[in-house]
Amino acid sequence: MTPPAFDCGVCLVTDRPALGGRELVEVVAAAVAGGVGMVQLREKTAGTREFVELARAVLAVVRPRGVPLLINDRLDVALAAGADGVHVGQDDMHPADVRTLLGPGAIVGLSVTGEAETRAAAGLPVDYLGAGPVFATATKKDAGAPQGIEGLRRMVALAEVPVVAIGAVTAENAASVLETGVAGLAVVSAICSAADPRAAARELSDIVCARRR
């Protein structure tokens, strides 16, 4: 299956503990209605069967809207659910192996922290780099040291593919993050914990659109 058009302007990275008791699919649907262009399903504690079921439920919401779904880390879940791609970290399956197994039409993302990992990503068969954390974040326990705006700017300059910034990105700091030249913003709490996920997604999407004009 050919994945939907790749738009990394605003990427929602899910975090069920941050939802305040709300249903994941409900929040994802609201975020997509608000302008999220890509969803990354991140589940650190779910069993494989539950993870696949969640992925299929999210796909049922995002696919009719042409929004791609990526699975965090788990290639097996992506294949079972028929997701549009996978986002891997430095300790996960090598991106070249992910590409071989998913094929040329899938979306493959790779997390990088710092200039060394960005340089090492040169030539890899990935569609984008998730660079960060820009600022200190509590949503990912194993996140590296904050890179800050200037560190992010250096990573963007070194990258051969579009860069998506992640790490405590909010509507308040989004404009300064976009000034580094990143292609988009990956957000967790800014949408997952928002009282109105659709409005939060719309605000971020409007900031990205304004930058692109």
The question of whether 111 is a catalytic residue gets the answer yes
- Burial of residue 63, with CB atoms counted within 10 A of its CB: 0-12 exposed, 13-18 middle, 19 or more buried: middle
Around 31, how many Cα atoms within 13 Å sit in the side-chain half-sphere? 34
**Cβ–Cβ under 8 Å, residues 15 and 190:** no
The question of whether 141 is a catalytic residue gets the answer no
pLDDT band at 1 (very low <50, low <70, confident <90, very high): very low
The question of whether 140 is a catalytic residue gets the answer yes
Q: What one-letter code names the amino acid at 62?
A: V
Active-site option among 16, 74, 140, 202: 140
Residue 2 has pLDDT above 50, yes or no: no
Active-site option among 16, 74, 99, 111: 111
Q: Which residue has the higher pLDDT, 142 or 22?
A: 22
What pLDDT score does 24 carry? 97
- pTM beyond 0.85: the answer is yes
Q: Alpha-carbon distance 197 to 188, whole Å?
A: 11
Q: Which residue has the higher pLDDT, 131 or 7?
A: 131
Helix (H, G, I), strand (E, B), or coil: what is residue 81?
A: helix
pLDDT band at 143 (very low <50, low <70, confident <90, very high): low
